[in-house]
Amino acid sequence: MKFIRLFEHDGSWLRFLRDWQNQCERLNDDFDLYQVSPISVVEDLVRNEPRVDAGVFGLEDDEGFHAICQVNCANLPGYSGRVLRVRMMYFAPSYDVGERNIEAYAEVLVRMFNEVLKLSDEDMRAPHIKFHLRSPADQRFFSELSAELDKLQAFASVEMLGSWLYITKK
């Protein structure tokens, strides 16, 4: 899977929209109704002038787009250094209707986590990362992941607070 930034000008946004529309059609779902919530929320970031500190990213492979998320990087009160925030994670229609199993869902979560870590080391450098989790299942998954990461001492700190996973890198 590739973690790519979605833009209108390079056609990646349209490729994403077509993929999820095709998934909806295959699953007998109405894309126009499906996309009202998740896509309209992030669409402005894609359609407006690109920003270096914020964007929409998608996980894509030969099968299409598995998930998208909104990412921004900013200086926030209470932090020394920039914070990379991952919000509005949405999974493809094939995950929403249960066509894909829980292992595939977990794989996408892990991949998203790894790609965001790379992003925080490269294009949106930040010593702190915050993931906003979309469901109680995600909270449980990341809670267990954070406990294991904390044991490994891979990061300066890892903790779950409400629907957020907070990570500070060493």
Tens digit of each residue's pLDDT (9 = 90 or more) over 35-55: 766 787 788 888 877 788 999
Domain with 77, as residue range(s), is: 2-168
Please state, in angstroms and rounded to a whole number, the distance separating the CA atoms of residues 115 and 54: 15
CATH number of the domain where residue 23 is located: 3.40.630.30
C-alpha to C-alpha distance for 145 and 21, rounded to whole angstroms: 32
For the chain, the domain total comes to: 1
What pLDDT, on a 0 to 100 scale, did the predictor assign at position 30?
Answer: 87
Helix (H, G, I), strand (E, B) or coil at 9: coil
List strand residue ranges (DSSP E) for 76-148, in order.
Answer: 82-91, 128-132
All residues at 6 or more sequence positions from 108 whose CB lies less than 8 Å from its CB, including other chains: 1, 59, 66, 67, 91, 95
What integer pLDDT is reported at residue 133 of this predicted model? 85
Residue with structure tokens 């829980």? 102
Instruction: Give me the chain's average pLDDT, please.
Output: 90
Asked whether 72 and 53 are in contact (CB, 8 A), the reply is: yes
Between these two residues, 20 and 44, which has the higher pLDDT value? 20
Whether the per-residue pLDDT at 98 is higher than 80: the answer is no
Q: State pLDDT tens for residues 118-149.
A: 999 999 999 999 999 877 778 888 877 777 77
Q: What is the reported pLDDT for 36?
A: 65
Residue 101 predicted with pLDDT over 80: yes
Q: Kindly state the percentage of the chain with pLDDT values over 70.
A: 98
Q: For 165, phi and psi rounded to 5 degrees?
A: -100, 120
Name 18's Cβ contacts closer than 8 Å, sequence gap at least 6. none
Phi, psi torsion values for 149, nearest 5 degrees: -65, -40
Strands (E), 7-101: 54-61, 64-75, 82-91
